[in-house]
Structure 1
Amino acid sequence: MPRRTATMLASTLMLIALLCAGVFIKVPYSEMSPGPTVNTLAEHDGEPVLQISGRKTYPTTGHLNMTTVRVTSADYNMNLVEAVYGWLAHDNKVVPHDTLYPDGKTEQQSTQENAEEFTQSQESAKVAALKKLGIPVRSWVIVATVLKGSPAEGRLHAGDVVKAVDGTDVKAPGDVAKLVTRHKAGQDVVFTIVPAKEQAAAEKAQKTALRTRNVTITTAKSHDSGQQRAIVGISAGNDHTFPFTIDIKLADVGGPSAGLMFALGIVDKLTPGDLTGGKFVAGTGTIDDDGHVGPIGGVEMKTVGARSKGARFFLTPKDNCAAAAKDGPDGLTLVRVDTLDDALKALEDIRTGKTADLPECTTEG
């Protein structure tokens, strides 16, 4: 056999051997890629994404698209060949497995957490939108979660309304922790609550729950990595009553990152005219009850997904701007926003053709 032929054969066999080895070598990585993008002003799977009843709504045009990221499952074992391909692919991103599933989190746990965050983002989007429109929303502080094995287990329950702690009125979720940590571990703290069942019954009857009861809990010492403090083992949150019904119908989506786009869609449907002027606008970002926009993960994937569907403008949380601008898709203007007001002003500029006035993202932020 000629030397040249033998060399080529040996090289080919070596390459085949390396590829075979790469298929069987597992690596601790996961992959992110652009996911579906959905117009909050339109229908998805045959029904409107935003359904509002009990209040006059107005026709809308254009797009206000929320964006998503598709990720490999927690139990997916990526091989070396797939990892290399993902690193080379422009539209995909390979990241350490623990980035997406920290502390050995299972697929079920991740899905549950994403579902809870998605529900909370919907609530905050409704509150922020209605506040912007000057529509009153009733809010109160509740027990959001009770830690298993904690002093509060069996004493407080998710959904209980927290009226006061040690006789001091509670106005915001953060007040609860402040008042509890005034104690030393082993001391008693008194919660004044409306039990969840009584609150639910009052809401159903469209009444205000007036009867309260006191619950005394002995605090314990915290065991997390932070500074030691007194705890009872709950997290506090907000609950709301809206003056009319707003339903967000979007299955198989999780996480908090659609909050901004939901809020904009609600504002658009509840006000005359339209926010986009018929333009295709997409975006992302968490939102809180006061309309502050927060950063999200996978922004590079979301911009790619939005542009592939036809978006021309992308509302980008301020803290995501630098990452988004490093390799933004051609033809997509990345607009920096920090609040709901910023997003509404950007839409006004887009609608009226004043795109030169838009605060565009740069690699510096």
Structure 2
Amino acid sequence: MPRRTATMLASTLILIALLCAGVLITVPYSEMSPGPTVNTLGDHGGEPVLNISGRKTYPTSGHLNMTTVRVTGADYRMNLVEAVYGWLTHDNAVVPHTTLYPDGQSAEQANQENAEEFSQSQASAKVAALKELKIPVGSQVIVSTVVKDSPAEGKLHAGDVVKAVDGKAVKEPGDVAKLVTEHKPGEKVVFSLIPAKTAAAAAKAGKEPKAGQRVKGGKLVPVTTKKAPGDGRAIVGIQAGIDHTFPFDIDIKLADVGGPSAGLMFSLGIVDKLTPADLTGGKFVAGTGTIDEKGKVGPIGGIEMKTVGARGKGAEYFLTPKDNCAAAAKDVPEGLTLVKVGTIDDALGALEHIRKGDTAGLSQCATG
């Protein structure tokens, strides 16, 4: 066999061997890529993303798109070839597996966490939008979770509304823990509450029942405390949270999406539907960002993937959390204007400039 032919054959075999090894060798990385983007003012899967009933709504136009990032699953094991290809691909990002799934988080745990964050983001978006419109929102302290095999199991239930502990009114979730820990382990603490079903029925009827033995639907429930592992304080085995009551129904339907990053765009969509003004003026605006009940916009992950996905669908403007601006501005898709926002008021102000065509008035993202 000629030397040149032998050399080429050997090189080919070595290359095939390296490729095979690359496919078989797994690496501790995951991949992020642009995910779907959905107009919060429109339909998805044949149903409105935002459905408001019991309150007058107004026509909308244009787009207020929430954006997503597609990630490899918690159980997916990337091989070396895929990692190298991902590193070389402009629109994708290869990151350490622990960045997306810390502490060995399973696929089930990741999905549950994403679902909980998504649910919380919807609630915060509703509260922020209604507060912006000066529409009253009710709130109440509830039992969020009950620990298995704890003193509270079977006595208190998730969704129960806690009105008082030992006769002392509670206004914040922290009040519950504070009042419980005033006891010594083994002592009884009395919860004045409204069972979850009773509270749900009252909310549906637009009423707010009161707790107490002499009030129909209210209950006084004694629970014996036990010693907490570690610090020895008194506990009953529950976690308290906040539940909101709204004066009309706001239903957000968006399947196969998780995490908290759609909060800003949901809140803007709700404001748009509840006000005569057309917030976008027919323009294609996308964005991202968490939102709290006071309307503060928080940073998210995968900003570069989201801007690429938004521009790919036709977005001209992208509402960007201020803490993500520097990263997003390093590689801006052509034709997309990044607008810096820190609150829902910032976002509404930006939309006013956009619909009026006053782009010079926009606060744009810059590197550094």
Residues 129-168 of structure 1: matches in 2 within 5 Å?
129-168=129-168
For residue 258 of structure 2, the aligned residue among 240, 250, 254 is: 254
Task: Give how far 1:47 is off.
Answer: 2.1
Letter in 2 for 1:323: A
* CA contact 2:155–2:221 (8 Å) conserved in 1: no
For residue 293 of structure 1, the aligned residue among 265, 290, 297 is: 297
In structure 2, the residue corresponding to 1:148 is in which secondary structure? coil
> Which one is further off, 285-294 or 301-310?
285-294
1:311 and 1:157, CA in 2 relative to 1: closer, same or farther beyond 3 A?
A: same
1:308-352, Cα deviation, whole Å (9 max, x unpaired): 111111111122222222223222222221211111111111122
* CA contact 1:167–1:192 (8 Å) conserved in 2: yes
**Residue in 2 that maps onto 1:18:** 18
Task: Give how far 1:63 is off.
Answer: 0.6
* CA contact 1:293–1:340 (8 Å) conserved in 2: yes
Letter in 2 for 1:221: A
> Which one is further off, 118-127 or 18-27?
118-127
* CA contact 1:151–1:220 (8 Å) conserved in 2: no
1:93-113, Cα deviation, whole Å (9 max, x unpaired): 112222222233222222222
Letter in 1 for 2:47: E
> Which one is further off, 146-155 or 8-17?
146-155
**Residue in 2 that maps onto 1:317:** 321
Scaled by the length of structure 1, the TM-score of the pair is: 0.91
Mapped partners of 1:288, 1:228: distance in 2: 34
Q: Percent identity?
A: 76
Letter in 1 for 2:268: L
1:28-85, Cα deviation, whole Å (9 max, x unpaired): 2221111100001111122221111221111111110000111112221211111111
1:176-202, Cα deviation, whole Å (9 max, x unpaired): 344445566666544332222321233
**Residue in 2 that maps onto 1:45:** 45
1:279-321, Cα deviation, whole Å (9 max, x unpaired): 1110111112221112222111111101111111111112222
Task: Give how far 1:267 is off.
Answer: 0.3
Task: Give how far 1:131 is off.
Answer: 1.1
Letter in 2 for 1:197: K
Task: Give how far 1:141 is off.
Answer: 1.2
Letter in 2 for 1:320: N
* CA contact 2:264–2:291 (8 Å) conserved in 1: yes
Letter in 1 for 2:108: Q
**Residue in 2 that maps onto 1:78:** 78
Mapped partners of 2:232, 2:11: distance in 1: 62
1:265 equivalent in alignment to 2:272: no
* CA contact 1:188–1:219 (8 Å) conserved in 2: no
> Which one is further off, 99-108 or 303-312?
99-108
**Residue in 2 that maps onto 1:221:** 228
1:57 and 1:24, CA in 2 relative to 1: closer, same or farther beyond 3 A?
A: same
Mapped partners of 1:231, 1:333: distance in 2: 52
1:337 and 1:184, CA in 2 relative to 1: closer, same or farther beyond 3 A?
A: farther
Task: Give how far 1:165 is off.
Answer: 3.2
> Which one is further off, 21-30 or 159-168?
159-168
- The gaps in structure 2 that reach 5 residues or longer are 211-217
**Residue in 2 that maps onto 1:96:** 96
1:178 and 1:85, CA in 2 relative to 1: closer, same or farther beyond 3 A?
A: farther
1:183 and 1:260, CA in 2 relative to 1: closer, same or farther beyond 3 A?
A: farther
Letter in 2 for 1:296: I
Mapped partners of 2:174, 2:90: distance in 1: 42
1:204 and 1:63, CA in 2 relative to 1: closer, same or farther beyond 3 A?
A: closer
For residue 352 of structure 2, the aligned residue among 330, 348, 353 is: 348
Mapped partners of 2:136, 2:9: distance in 1: 77
1:323 and 1:231, CA in 2 relative to 1: closer, same or farther beyond 3 A?
A: farther
Mapped partners of 1:337, 1:128: distance in 2: 15
* CA contact 1:164–1:192 (8 Å) conserved in 2: yes
**Residue in 2 that maps onto 1:337:** 341
**Residue in 2 that maps onto 1:32:** 32
Mapped partners of 2:99, 2:219: distance in 1: 44
> Which one is further off, 238-247 or 28-37?
238-247
1:319 and 1:220, CA in 2 relative to 1: closer, same or farther beyond 3 A?
A: farther
Task: Give how far 1:151 is off.
Answer: 3.9
**Residue in 2 that maps onto 1:119:** 119
- Number of aligned residue pairs: give it: 361
